Structure 1
Amino acid sequence: MVTGTAFVTGASQGIGREIAQTLAERGANVALAARGDGIYEAKSLIDAPDCTLAIKTDVTNEASVQAAIEETVATFGGLDCLVNNAGIAGPTAPIEQIDREEWERTMNVNVTGMFLTTKNAAPHLRESDQGTVVNISSISGKRPLKSRTPYTASKMAVIGLTRTLAFELGDDDVTVNAVCPGATRGPRIENVIEKQAASRSVDYETAKREVFTNDTALGQLVDPKDITEMVAFLASDRARHITAQDLNVDAGTTWY
């Protein structure tokens, strides 16, 4: 069971949408935050209209973030859980071929976005008796991929941000953890595999095996539901003494 109110970024599609749906199903009020109109469809798929709120939010714009969090608090009376899921894959190319604009966009969405949402959510989380932050990082933040410099650097930064915030917010009993997914089935990873195939001059299935599944213990991609279950656990009372951790959900790829 998850109680209280959660604010989920990147909730218009993919893992973010599934996280929002799972938290609502487990009993939480949920604000679905994203830039795209997909948040309205995502909200309609959740059978709890009085307990969900769709809010257009650009995580790289502090005014947008502040307004979205204030609307969430005004609607539901507080904020207990922040799920920082918004992120982009960034370019797939050797560093010499990556434009500064691509680097900055990846860092702005994947790192600065988490900074801005956590900064504005922190006062409300401190007031909660069950404050929780769950940041979505990646095993690529521990075990980098070739030709993915902006993405892997951003996901390493997320782990550092998580550990620091756990100690900064811990005095007010706010837990802060990161979930590090492995390659997870869905449109985003399909796009990444296609780019890896092109950069390696191999076909899609070969790139999938070489880059993502050959060295997993289970030899397969992760199911999105596995990620949502971990997030729901960390947002629940069962995880009140788990903090400052980066937890892998990766079919057995990384052991640290």
Structure 2
Amino acid sequence: MTAGTEAPLAGRTALVSGGGSGLGRAVTRALLSDGARVVITGRDERRLRETAAALGPAVTYRVCDVSRPSEVAALARSLADEEISVLVNNAGIAGPVAPLTEISAEDWDEVFGVNVRGVFLMCRAFLPPMTGRGTGDVINIASVSGKRPLLRRTPYCASKMAVIGLTTTLAGEVGPLGVTVNSLSPGPVSGPRMERNFRLEAERTGGSSAEAEAAFVARSALGRMVTEEEVGAAVRAMLRMPGLCGADIDLSAGMVAR
């Protein structure tokens, strides 16, 4: 990292999972603004293709389901000639909104497959070249939901707590080899996913989506949710902090204060 330069990521290539939309697209834009080349991955080829076309020639894409070992291995082989020095594990799914007793084992396993196993598989595939070179940065996108109650969302909350635990332990393993590993825990991010949650909450309570949203953001010090652009900016900031390793950063507009 070369903090304070015009393009601190110039000459570096980043790999962003779940990069075709939402937070992944915002993170990709932020990395591009700091001079990186970016490879985005995801399961939806159409979204990946559209994002790459919209963001320009410094973005390429590969289709990959990060929960599948064979697809992650194929991804690593396809990028063998790329020097991936920044890995952002962003791919994740929200999972069911229901009491634990009504959640199927299949739904539970799907959430952990993407949100936790995917981080494990991507780190396992792309860390060896970084540790071999003695440099690299990994940022895992977790969530404040891994650190506070969020009723009827046990698979998601448990998976994000697992990501934080993976991050802190992995940092101790590869930090001595020159690679930083950190996690970013956004609070609720305004966009389609939260709109879905407010709609489901309104159906459960008999109120409106607007009322569900107002009650939710009232718990935030800033009285709002964070934005996708703010998450991208936080990733940029973390990569400009060379002493940051094994940390989990809250970005919640004051929803969580520790």
Q: TM-score range by the shorter chain?
A: over 0.9
Q: Distance in 1 between matches of 2:179 and 2:203?
A: 44
TM-superposed deviation, 1:232: 1.6
TM-superposed deviation, 1:129: 4.6
Equivalent residue, structure 2, for 1:7: 15
Equivalent residue, structure 2, for 1:86: 91
**Does residue 170 of structure 1 match 2:178?**
no
> Which amino acid in the other structure matches residue 39 of structure 1?
L
Q: Distance in 1 between matches of 2:108 and 2:122?
A: 20
TM-superposed deviation, 1:24: 1.9
Ranges in structure 1 where 5+ consecutive residues have no aligned partner = none
Q: Return the match for 2:44 from 32, 36, 40.
A: 36
2:41 partner SS: strand
**Does residue 57 of structure 1 match 2:64?**
yes
1:73 partner SS: coil
Please give the TM-score of this superposition, normalised by the length of structure 1: 0.93
1:81 partner SS: strand
Equivalent residue, structure 1, for 2:5: none
Q: Distance in 2 between matches of 1:52 and 1:71?
A: 15
> Which amino acid in the other structure matches residue 137 of structure 1?
A
Contact 1:182 1:222 in 2 (8 A): yes
TM-superposed deviation, 1:2: 1.8
Q: Distance in 1 between matches of 2:214 and 2:168?
A: 32
1:221 partner SS: coil
Deviations 1:196-219 (A, max 9, x none): 222233211121122x31110100
Ranges in structure 2 where 5+ consecutive residues have no aligned partner = 1-7
Aligned-CA RMSD value: 1.3
Aligned counterparts, 1:179-190, within 5 A: 179-190=184-195
TM-superposed deviation, 1:118: 0.5
TM-superposed deviation, 1:144: 2.2
**Does residue 240 of structure 1 match 2:237?**
no
> Which amino acid in the other structure matches residue 31 of structure 2?
L
Aligned sequence identity (%): 37
Deviations 1:51-84 (A, max 9, x none): 322100110111211221232231x3x1101100
Q: Distance in 2 between matches of 1:130 and 1:199?
A: 49
Contact 2:29 2:232 in 1 (8 A): no
> Which amino acid in the other structure matches residue 252 of structure 1?
G
Q: Distance in 2 between matches of 1:71 and 1:255?
A: 42
Deviations 1:116-162 (A, max 9, x none): 00110110221345411100011101112001000000011011011
Contact 1:182 1:253 in 2 (8 A): yes
1:111 partner SS: helix
Equivalent residue, structure 1, for 2:164: 159
> Which amino acid in the other structure matches residue 229 of structure 2?
K
Please give the TM-score of this superposition, normalised by the length of structure 2: 0.93
Equivalent residue, structure 2, for 1:217: 221
Equivalent residue, structure 1, for 2:233: 229
Change (3 A) 1:6 1:128: farther
Q: Distance in 1 between matches of 2:77 and 2:35?
A: 21
Q: Return the match for 1:208 from 204, 213, 221.
A: 213
Question: Which shifted more, 93-102 or 126-135?
Answer: 126-135
Which runs of structure 1 show a deviation greater than 4 angstroms over 4 or more consecutive aligned residues?
Answer: none
